[in-house]
Structure 1
Amino acid sequence: MAEKEGAIIKKDHQEGMQMAVSLLEEFGLPLGLLPLADIIEVGFVRSTGYMWILQKNKVELNFKMISKLVSYGTEITDYVEKKRIKKLKGVKAKELMLWPPVSEISVVDPPTRKIQFKSLAGITKTFPVEAFACGKK
């Protein structure tokens, strides 16, 4: 695929997790934002910000602080930039009885310390950034 050209690729769980976490850190995003299990591959193209994650199984996680159930598919793709993830595919958040795909995530600069999620369905939700800190599940 052309969008993967020039990518840095990590092929196992340990190295993939390290790379995913270091990218979240570098771009000012909460470290618990992508709770992943059994990673097969993580790739990142620095020139475009294109990132992908392949994992063995779908992961569902309940972020208790905000009572939000989130589903992470076996393939997650997005474009990462400072304090923002856009064109996100493979992540859904439960809203009432629906599972709208999350298409964009952005951290609102201080002093609010909020993180905003947008879905293709036009739903926008804002939560405290702390809800997605590493270990806050």
Structure 2
Amino acid sequence: MSATAKQIEAQRENAEIHHGSAACRQKFLELLEEFSVPLCVFLMTEVEGAELVEFGFNRATGFFWLRQKAKTQRKMSKTSTLYYDVEVTGFIEERRLSQIVGVKGKELLVKLPICEIIVGYPTADKVKCVAAAGMSRVSPLTDYQNAAK
């Protein structure tokens, strides 16, 4: 059992869990909206052909997970791509996703795991993505909105 799967199992007891692609997508989008994370920032549910199998959220800890049938990717721009693993986990709080596992960003030739997304940093119209290696990138929110179309 992978470390991600063990973390999910530890959080299952008090979590609300949904199955089926449409239900998972709807509940995850509701969660993002509840915590003021613009829907365009975490585009996993918008990837064409993505089939979500399970979504869970433990409200007491803020832990969420998404399981899909196969890995997916989303092209953000000519030089930028996001990759989503079969299991994606993290913690959510107001305007922030942290300790994310299962998401990688590729910029030109460099592919790094993304561990944190902060909305509204350093200004309200910006999004900061932090890689596990400590590198970060601040982008205008409009970059994500344009990629979502």
TM-score with structure 1 setting the length? 0.90
Match for residue 69 of structure 2 among 56, 62, 74: 56
Tell me by how many angstroms 1:111 deviates.
5.1
1:45-66 Cα offsets, whole Å, 9 max, x none, are 00110000000111111113x8
Runs of 4+ in 1 over 3 A off after TM superposition: 109-112
How big is the alpha-carbon RMSD for the aligned residues of Structure 1 and Structure 2? 1.9
Tell me by how many angstroms 1:99 deviates.
1.2
Q: Quote the sequence identity (%).
A: 33
Aligned length: 136
Match for residue 8 of structure 1 among 11, 16, 20: 16
Tell me by how many angstroms 1:134 deviates.
8.4
- Structure 2 counterpart SS, 1:101: strand
Greater displacement, 1-10 / 12-21: 1-10
Structure 1 unaligned regions, length at least 5: none
Residue 127 of structure 1 corresponds to 139
Tell me by how many angstroms 1:4 deviates.
2.3
- Structure 2 counterpart SS, 1:22: helix
Q: How far apart, in 2, do the equivalents of 1:21 and 1:67 lie?
A: 26
Match for residue 56 of structure 2 among 34, 43, 46: 43
Structure 2 unaligned regions, length at least 5: 1-8
Tell me by how many angstroms 1:67 deviates.
4.5
Residue 88 of structure 1 corresponds to 100
Greater displacement, 31-40 / 42-51: 31-40
- Structure 1 counterpart SS, 2:43: coil
Match for residue 34 of structure 2 among 26, 43, 47: 26
Residue 108 of structure 1 corresponds to 120
Q: How far apart, in 1, do the equivalents of 2:55 and 2:33 lie?
A: 15
Residue 80 of structure 2 corresponds to 68
Greater displacement, 117-126 / 105-114: 105-114
Q: How far apart, in 2, do the equivalents of 1:29 and 1:132 lie?
A: 12
Of the two structures, which has the highest relative contact order with CA contacts closer than 8 Å and spacing of 6 or more?
Answer: 1
1:17-56 Cα offsets, whole Å, 9 max, x none, are 0001001111111212132310000000001100000001
- Structure 2 counterpart SS, 1:30: coil
CA contact (8 A) 1:42 1:52 kept: yes
